[in-house]
Structure 1
């Protein structure tokens, strides 16, 4: 007889993993919400208060106006021109307006305006430097490198050449342009610069020598030619056409 066939036991049913219900995050308590709102409100009020204090009160207002770089001008004159009120909020200071007011002073070539916390405004002034002098019945008029007649003094400074020009602005510009482009050694020998128009500049040098310069064009080249010509005897040196310079 054949052996009885063994019966297979049915496989146990698989159990699906049970899913635990998701936990909702705990809501902050009412006290926590109120505390956060209070902190946010306090921060906002602090920022607004500081902003108001900086922009509309004298907390960070101007207490000192420093003036630097002066040679001839008095600090009081610069402060008066700047017209910065004591206690004026530093953050609201109109730097461009202050700069424009100080630049109206004839002796001022430029000025830098700086805010320095907590309450200082620093004005660094660059004064005009004279390069020539215009003699007149009311005194000596100082002229700077831009051709501006910016000050009148009773006694002319030593070492400045005299400027002899017509009322034509082109004559002044040409004469000053030639003068400031000359090499230092040559410029020291110039006693006077004259011009009636922008094309007839003449130099009066020491030892009675005259230089016919012409226009301000090619000034560096003309100066180089003149330095060579001055080694020759003569009283009139014409470099108006540097390629055809003459001595007589």
Structure 2
């Protein structure tokens, strides 16, 4: 078999791999064989996820550091402002008072002269004001930059009660609220105490229900709730009325629960008794008065057996 030409053999040998990781070039020189590396497809995704996780972590650390720095600055600034005289209280505003004066409220609030809106003890001021019998509720508001507002809800006079004195020789008129709290003894308007009392108190007392003939031994105290059964019975009767009759009751004689008697604005007397079946008793009284002109007395202590008396 004829042998291949020398030039052809040399050409074929130039592309043959040589021992030791070398191969011959076409020029006849020998150069190192390049190593080929391979990566499995399954390794790519975990590696990319790791890179992303590291980047996310670094961003998280940077953000956390920024937030911590801002928080520290705010805390330091807040402490500085809290301890400073910024927002010092220069005005105390009082709203909602009629029976108490603004001066009375400011004195009871006792706001320290060197305090600020940030340091003021609003809860303590509120609790202090609630100790006054006239104050039913109060909201302490901070009005920046320098005003403290006391928004008061006052109790009102439901009735005046003639309470016997300890020596039983006379009576003392007391104001009582709708929730049966004793508000204050009402001084004579021409006395020294009366001149210091709000005119609104005398105005409301004159228009309020008058409870008289209260038994000896009835106790009244400012800021305490009435515990006398006869007085509470009288107040409950008028509070429980739902017809126009309630507006006509001017005086209640409260010698005892069974003996409770109402006196209307025209002088008509109604023996009402206990604060029971109030609406039924109202209905019967109104019907009797409508059907019997000139009636001056109605007894509904036992609502099923009413009696009455008229001038005609």
- What's the TM-score once normalised by structure 1's chain length? 0.73
Q: 1:4: which partner in 2?
A: none
Greater Cα radius of gyration, structure 1 or 2 = 2
Q: 1:174: which partner in 2?
A: 233
Checking the alignment, whether the CA contact within 8 Å between 2:241 and 2:282 is kept in structure 1 is yes
Q: Which runs of 5+ in 2 are unaligned?
A: 1-34, 40-46, 55-61, 164-169, 190-201, 219-226
Q: 1:237: which partner in 2?
A: 298
Cα distance, 1:36–1:113 mapped onto 2, change above 3 Å: closer
CA distance in 1: counterparts of 2:243 and 2:208, whole angstroms: 13
Deviation at 1:145, TM superposition (A): 1.0
Q: 2:177: which partner in 1?
A: 144
Q: Secondary structure of the residue that 1:214 maps to in structure 2?
A: coil
Q: 1:97: which partner in 2?
A: 124
Q: How does 1:154-173 map to 2 (within 5 A)?
A: 154-155=188-189, 156-157=202-203, 158-164=206-212, 165-166=214-215, 167=218, 169-173=228-232
Q: Which runs of 5+ in 1 are unaligned?
A: 1-14, 28-34
CA distance in 2: counterparts of 1:108 and 1:138, whole angstroms: 26
Cα distance, 1:139–1:54 mapped onto 2, change above 3 Å: farther
Give the stretch that moved more between structures: 58-67 or 130-139. Answer: 130-139
Checking the alignment, whether the CA contact within 8 Å between 2:133 and 2:181 is kept in structure 1 is no
Out of 104, 124, 138, the position equivalent to 1:77 is 104
Deviation at 1:102, TM superposition (A): 1.0
Deviation at 1:87, TM superposition (A): 4.1
Checking the alignment, whether the CA contact within 8 Å between 2:243 and 2:282 is kept in structure 1 is no
Alignment deviations for residues 159-207 of structure 1 (CA, whole Å, 9 cap, x no partner): 3332122216111211111122334632333231122344432112234
- What's the TM-score once normalised by structure 2's chain length? 0.60
Deviation at 1:116, TM superposition (A): 2.8
Cα distance, 1:45–1:235 mapped onto 2, change above 3 Å: same
Cα distance, 1:247–1:36 mapped onto 2, change above 3 Å: closer
CA distance in 2: counterparts of 1:16 and 1:132, whole angstroms: 107
Matched, 1:186 2:245: yes
Q: Secondary structure of the residue that 2:211 maps to in structure 1?
A: strand
Deviation at 1:78, TM superposition (A): 0.5
Checking the alignment, whether the CA contact within 8 Å between 1:56 and 1:89 is kept in structure 2 is no
Out of 279, 282, 285, the position equivalent to 1:220 is 279
Q: 1:30: which partner in 2?
A: none
CA distance in 2: counterparts of 1:146 and 1:66, whole angstroms: 27
Checking the alignment, whether the CA contact within 8 Å between 2:258 and 2:301 is kept in structure 1 is no
